[in-house]
């Protein structure tokens, strides 16, 4: 698989199921896309999400009614066989599929269809997004790595802002992209700038501007 970031703000996503797993998936997508969740009953928590709730039991014969212009389908019922059949219909309809149950070692479940999308664990800051996945083999490892990396990513967040500000200034004074890149690297590699960023952005910015040869 190739990891990609995809803007879902104009896409439609359908989650099938109303249990805890479906709720977890719905929470991931509700603020990012146009979300519909289909189930005869819903676990507590769905009402708080920005999504359309459809109270209906669907199977492979009826799910097609809900797949028009849908980008991604998440079969998340408690029935693995049903999830597989729903995935087959979604696949034939041209939808991407995110399976919540693990495929067998050969890459296909008992219904013959495995999902083609993995929803990774993520770290979000104002400037940075990091995704972590183990291909479904160890969600616990993904969670562990996310916890370990999260403080580091948050510390790096102001550096992104600083690099962006410097880069814009350097575009006006330095002709070549290679020279701009080298100067910006001197900032990233300087511990003094990193330490200053932890306390005061403007102090760090002054130090960084000296590094890249910009006037005070």
pLDDT for position 96: 95
* DSSP assignments along 91-148, one per residue: HHTT-EE--SSPPPTTS--TTS---S----EEEE-SS-EEEE--TTS-HHHHHHHHHH
pTM: 0.80
pLDDT at position 107 is 40
* CATH architecture under which domain 12-119 falls: 3-Layer(aba) Sandwich (3.40)
Domain ranges within the chain, ordered by starting residue: 12-119, 121-216
Residue 134 confidence (pLDDT) above 80: yes
Condensed to tens digits (0 to 9), the pLDDT of residues 81-110 reads 999 999 999 999 999 999 887 544 344 443
Residue percentage of the chain with pLDDT more than 70: 94
Residues 118-135 have a mean pLDDT of 90
Confidence of residue 115 (pLDDT cuts 50, 70, 90): confident
Q: Which residue has the higher pLDDT, 159 or 110?
A: 159
Q: Looking at residue 101, what is its pLDDT?
A: 76
Question: Which range is least confidently modeled, 78-87, 129-138, 145-154?
Answer: 129-138
Closest by Cα among 148, 159, 145, 144 to 191: 159
In angstroms, what CA-CA distances link 73 with 41, 90, 99, 204?
18, 7, 9, 46
Average pLDDT over residues 186-203: 95
pLDDT of the residue at 138: 85
d(CA 61, CA 70): 17
Of 103 and 153, the structure prediction assigns the larger pLDDT to 153
Give me the mean pLDDT over the 150-179 stretch.
94
């Amino acid at each position: 698989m190739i990891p990609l970031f995809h803007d879902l703000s104009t896409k439609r996503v359908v989650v099938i199921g109303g249990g805890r797993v479906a709720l977890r998936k719905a929470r991931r997508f509700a603020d990012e896309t146009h979300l519909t969740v289909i189930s005869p009953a819903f676990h507590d928590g769905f009402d708080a999400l920005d999504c359309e709730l459809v109270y209906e039991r669907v199977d492979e014969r009826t799910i097609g009614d809900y797949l028009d212009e849908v980008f991604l389908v998440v079969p998340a019922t408690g029935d693995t066989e049903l999830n597989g059949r729903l995935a087959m219909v979604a696949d034939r309809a041209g939808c991407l599929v995110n399976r919540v149950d693990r495929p067998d070692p050969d890459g296909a479940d008992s219904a013959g269809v495995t999902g083609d999308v993995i929803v990774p664990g993520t770290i979000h800051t104002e400037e940075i997004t990091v995704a972590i996945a183990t291909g479904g083999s160890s969600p616990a490892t993904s969670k562990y790595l996310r916890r370990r990396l999260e403080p580091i990513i948050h510390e790096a967040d102001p550096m992104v802002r600083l690099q962006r500000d410097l880069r814009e200034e350097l575009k006006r004074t330095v002709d070549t992209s290679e020279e701009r890149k080298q100067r910006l690297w001197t900032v990233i590699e300087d511990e003094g700038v990193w330490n200053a960023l932890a306390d005061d952005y403007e102090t760090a910015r002054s130090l960084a501007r000296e590094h890249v040869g910009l006037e005070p």
